[in-house]
């Protein structure tokens, strides 16, 4: 055991640093999270050359410890680019490909997937997915999705991520809500109600999403649907089409959904409409389990 790893064993700070948010956790010797904070200083809000100060601020708020960073902080818009590790990849492959800024700061790389004409990338979700496997919450040969701005469907094989696919569901919903002709109809609350479930089931069993979306407006104009139901209806159509993509992968008994409860609840409701069993897991616990496993490998 060299000096570097000895220092990491005294505890460290784990950072899940995304495009618009950062979440920092102080991890003690035993692997327990003893302090944490979240703010909106995502990668896009840090000016060029601003990362050393942004990192120093994290240490001042939590402790003067080594940092293990994951997410978009390792992208070409982040602190230092950490090249994608190709699938199949597990915790060992991630740990071996850590990119060191100094010997007190390491960045976890993202994953890439290439097959025939398909190309895909992820950054940040891999720590949560592999953490869920390591903590025994996720079948090491299972199918999992991680909803967010860009939902990721991933298949696991012997505990490694073997294949994955990104669906732009969250971003499409935001674009439609903020900028489209459906905007005034989509300001309401999205709920996993019957309207949502019916729309999800329709999209799971029928394709043609870009044709169905205009129907959100036409149904209200023609008195076939209530304006206040439109957000749940549109969300159901989008998430249903997303689940349809996920169901093209082979699955075991359960499909696992990892992320923020507000989103995992919607995906769980849609997946249930496809007659599949769902397990919901919290993103934070999965991240902490994964980042701790990587730290142990340093």
Residues forming the site for a copy of itself (CB under 8 A): 84, 112, 114, 117-121, 149-150, 165-169, 171-172, 175-176, 178-181, 202, 207-211, 213-215, 217-219, 221-222, 224-225, 238, 241-242, 244-245, 248
Which residues fall within 8 angstroms of residue 53, CB to CB, at 6 or more apart?
A: none
Q: For a copy of itself, give the closer residue by CB, 39 or 207.
A: 207
**Separation in Å, CA 151 to CA 8, 122, 147:** 32, 10, 4
In angstroms, give the least distance from the CB of 221 to a copy of itself: 6
In angstroms, give the least distance from the CB of 291 to a copy of itself: 24
Q: For a copy of itself, give the closer residue by CB, 11 or 110.
A: 110
In angstroms, give the least distance from the CB of 17 to a copy of itself: 17
Q: For a copy of itself, give the closer residue by CB, 209 or 274.
A: 209
Write out the H or E segment, with its range, that includes residue 96.
helix 91-96
In angstroms, give the least distance from the CB of 295 to a copy of itself: 27
In angstroms, give the least distance from the CB of 118 to a copy of itself: 6
Q: For a copy of itself, give the closer residue by CB, 217 or 276.
A: 217
**Separation in Å, CA 165 to CA 6, 13, 243:** 38, 30, 12
Q: For a copy of itself, give the closer residue by CB, 60 or 116.
A: 116
In angstroms, give the least distance from the CB of 202 to a copy of itself: 7
Q: For a copy of itself, give the closer residue by CB, 243 or 294.
A: 243
Write out the H or E segment, with its range, that includes residue 58.
helix 51-61
**Separation in Å, CA 11 to CA 93, 97, 258, 259:** 22, 21, 26, 25
In angstroms, give the least distance from the CB of 144 to a copy of itself: 16
Starting at the earlier edge strand, list the strands of the sheet with 160-167. Answer: 160-167, 151-157, 143-146, 254-259, 277-282
Residue 246 near residue 153 (C-beta atoms within 8 A): yes
> Taking the alpha carbons of 66, 98, 263, 277 in that order, is the dihedral positive or negative?
negative
Structure-block tokens of residue 88: 């199949």
Write out the H or E segment, with its range, that includes residue 128.
helix 125-134
Q: For a copy of itself, give the closer residue by CB, 51 or 113.
A: 113
């Amino acid at each position: 055991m060299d000096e570097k790893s000895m220092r990491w064993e005294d505890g460290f700070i784990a950072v899940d640093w995304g495009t618009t948010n950062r979440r920092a956790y102080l991890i003690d010797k035993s692997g327990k999270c003893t302090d944490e904070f979240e703010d909106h200083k995502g990668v896009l809000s840090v000016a060029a050359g601003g990362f050393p100060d942004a990192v120093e601020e994290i240490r001042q708020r939590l402790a003067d410890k080594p940092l293990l960073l994951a997410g978009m902080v390792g992208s070409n818009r982040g602190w230092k680019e950490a090249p994608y590790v190709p699938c199949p990849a597990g915790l060992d492959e991630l740990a071996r490909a850590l990119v060191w800024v100094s010997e007190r700061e390491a960045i976890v790389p993202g994953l890439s997937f290439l097959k025939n004409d398909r190309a895909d990338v992820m950054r940040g979700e891999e720590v949560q997915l592999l953490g869920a496997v390591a903590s025994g919450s996720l079948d090491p040969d299972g199918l999992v999705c991680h909803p967010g701005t860009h939902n990721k469907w991933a298949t696991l094989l012997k505990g490694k991520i073997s294949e994955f696919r990104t669906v732009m569901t969250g971003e499409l919903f935001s674009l439609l809500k903020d900028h489209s002709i459906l905007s005034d109809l989509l300001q309401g609350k999205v709920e996993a109600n019957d309207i949502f479930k019916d729309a999800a089931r329709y999209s799971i069993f029928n394709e043609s999403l870009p044709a169905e979306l205009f129907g959100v407006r036409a149904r209200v104009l023609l008195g076939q649907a209530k304006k206040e139901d439109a957000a749940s209806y549109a969300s159901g159509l989008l998430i249903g089409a997303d689940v349809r993509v996920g169901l093209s992968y082979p699955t075991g008994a359960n499909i696992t959904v990892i992320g923020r409860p507000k989103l995992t609840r919607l995906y769980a409701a849609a997946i249930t409409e496809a007659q599949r069993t769902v397990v919901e897991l919290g993103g934070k616990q999965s991240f902490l389990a994964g980042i701790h496993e990587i730290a142990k490998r340093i």
